Structure 1
Amino acid sequence: MPDILPLSWFQRETSAVAYDLIGCVLCRRQPDGEVIRCTISETEAYLGVRDQACHSYQDKRTARTEVMYRPGGTIYVYLIYGMYEMLNLVTQTEGVPEGVMIRSAFLNTALTRKDYQLLAGPGKLTRYLGIDRTLKGQCLGEASGLWVEAATTQPEVVLTPRIGIDYAGAAKDWPERYCWKDHPSLSR
């Protein structure tokens, strides 16, 4: 079995985790026991209390954001627009509310451009893999049915500003979106 990343791997500087996740394999066990594996091609880092785009900006602790204050490797799933579940992986140590959003990935069996687009966007990814808020607060690992395996390749990664956060003041321009350069699975 491939190497499952330990929780300590996520308890590092958030931007480094976001960068290093590109090329790693996100795994989701389905209700029938099948495990779907997909390679992560795009992430975004959210840098906690100093980041206007982050839910924990200015140390706002609410029932929704409390999970972000847990140790790295905790799963944070939330709903936006009343219809899309977003998958975030908490980073850093307990009490430092930062995380990485998984924006896109591709199935390891992908062959065509259409195949690569199946998981091209955070809502498409969670819907396809069956990731929802029942995972919120659980730890990555086989017990939760959601884990990350070590990368088998090191792609070229490019940084761009994050997407869809025009409300975030100067933070909207921070280059905290990490993309597998020119990959057909990237979100739009």
Structure 2
Amino acid sequence: MQKSRRLTKTNLNVSCKEMALYLLGKVLVRKLDNGSILKGRIVETECYLGGEDKASHSYNGRQTPGNEPMYMPAGTTYVYFTYGMYFCFNISSVEPGAAVLLRALEPIQGLEIMKKFRTVKKKGPLKDTELCNGPSKLCIAMNVTKDNCNKIDLTESERLWIEDDGGRIEATQIVNCRRIGIASAGEEWAAKPLRFYVLSNAHVSKRDKKAENDLIS
């Protein structure tokens, strides 16, 4: 496998859907204040298109202090608080108001540290496949919060960035299906195939059996 290289502004200056697909197989890197490095391979993403996307925080051009990162240059982090207790981590794309949600990682470095972060919220032992298999779980495991990782330029930050280590996900390995937890947006937008994940990867948050069957049939 090739030497890892950090993604640049050019790599991330792309459309929301293109970014969601491109990020699969890339490595999210988090450097903690004590110098420890945590790494996880991105295995699941979702698109939030802004504009007419009723599931997006920027639907119909909505702009607030909270969703400001969605309108910042592509490659800017957007971390938001949900359900009054969890964080979710997104990356702005080239379209104003559009962003990619990271839904799951496959942990590859710093697993013991991730387990310590996770067990603060969840008592008892965790399997490696349970560490980052959901958008809020990965934030807890990687110590990503709105206070420490919001509005970050991923191409310049020393605390959070994305690397390409040569891992490649072929199109035949990518499951394309509906997003999760957005029923309130209405059936039209809830049904749009804007979630992407790596087929047969044990670290994804939730499998879509029908979409998998369609892919392999």
Shorter-chain TM-score range: over 0.9
**What residue in structure 1 maps to residue 144 of structure 2?**
131
Q: TM-score, normalised by structure 2?
A: 0.80
Amino acid aligned to 1:57: Y
Alignment of 1:29-40 (within 5 A): 29-40=31-42
5+ unaligned residues in a row in structure 1: which ranges? none
List per-residue Cα deviations over 1:90-144 (Å, max 9, x = no partner). 0105xx110100000011157xx92122100011100010000022112114534
Partner of 1:83: 85
Q: Name which of 155, 160, 179 aligns with 1:146.
A: 160
2:196 aligned partner, one-letter code = Y
Q: Deviations over 1:36-93 (max 9, x none)?
A: 1110010001111110010000001111112211110101000000111000000105
CA gap of 1:186–1:9, structure 2 versus 1, over 3 A, is same
Partners of 1:47 and 1:99 within 8 A in 2:
yes
Runs of 4+ aligned structure 1 residues displaced above 4 Å come to none
Judge conservation of contact 2:4–2:166 (CA < 8 Å) in 1.
no
Is the Cα contact below 8 Å between 1:8 and 1:73 reproduced in 2?
no
Residue identity (%) = 32
Matched residue type, 1:122:
P
Q: Distance in 2 between matches of 1:184 and 1:151?
A: 20
- The equivalent position to 1:157 in structure 2, one of 167, 174, 186, is 174
- The count of residues paired between Structure 1 and Structure 2 equals 184
The alpha-carbon distance between structure 1 residues 51 and 151, as it changes in their structure 2 partners (threshold 3 A), is: farther
Find the structure with the greater CA-based Rg.
Answer: 2
1:48-59 aligned within 5 A: 48-59=50-61
Greater shift, 132-141 or 37-46, is seen at: 132-141
Whether 1:108 and 2:108 are equivalent positions in the alignment is yes
Q: Which runs of 5+ in 2 are unaligned?
A: 112-125, 207-217
* Native 8 Å contact 1:23 1:40 kept in 2: yes
Q: Which amino acid aligns with 1:55?
A: H
2:13 alignment partner, one of 1, 11, 30: 11
Q: Secondary structure of the equivalent of 2:5?
A: coil
- Residue in 2 that maps onto 1:98: 98
Cα distance between partner residues in 2 of 1:8 and 1:55: 25
Look up the SS of the partner of 2:55 in the other structure.
coil
Indicate if the aligned counterparts of 1:68 and 1:97 stay in contact, CA closer than 8 A: yes
Amino acid at match of 2:138: L
Q: Is the deviation greater in 147-156 or in 171-180?
A: 147-156
